[in-house]
Amino acid sequence: MIIGATNRPNDLDEAVRRRLVKKLYIPLPNADGRKQFLERLLAKELKGNKHINLSAGDIEHLVKITKGYSGADLKNLSVEAAMIPLRSLMDIASVDINNIRPTNLADFKEALKMVK
């Protein structure tokens, strides 16, 4: 059994498409799916951790502004947003985790410029 996955099925060679008999279309996540994905992705960080500062309203806002994003896009967005506070430090060689400010909604908005 061979299973293949692609976001761009029309870019596949005709011979490859002909050999993959069964095709399933899985759409991008809707608002509920994006919310669930973000909540699960951030769950560990939100539980008593001071390195992320997102309210329920912030997550709702993220859901609205990420329409059309896939699960992979949301993961990349989260990783990019988490890096923004670290990049703001001047002396990265002697960084202490307690000196890194929490990731917030503004960081996610900034990351949206880089993760399309």
SS3 66: coil
Q: Is 70 exceeded by the pLDDT of residue 112?
A: yes
What are the boundaries of each domain within the chain?
A: 29-112
Average pLDDT on 22-39 reads 92
* Chain mean pLDDT for the chain: 87
**CA–CA separation, 72 vs 18, rounded Å?**
27
Instruction: Taking residues 42-53, report their average pLDDT.
Output: 72
CATH of domain 29-112: 1.10.8.60
In terms of Cβ atoms closer than 10 Å to its own Cβ (0-12, 13-18, 19+), residue 54 is buried
Per-residue pLDDT at 49: 62
* Residue 62 near residue 29, CB atoms below 8 Å: no
Q: What is the mean pLDDT of residues 36-51?
A: 78
* Beta-sheet strands, E only, within 1-116: 52-53, 103-104
- Nearest residue to 38 via CA among 57, 65, 62: 62
Task: Decide which of 13 and 87 is more confident.
Answer: 13
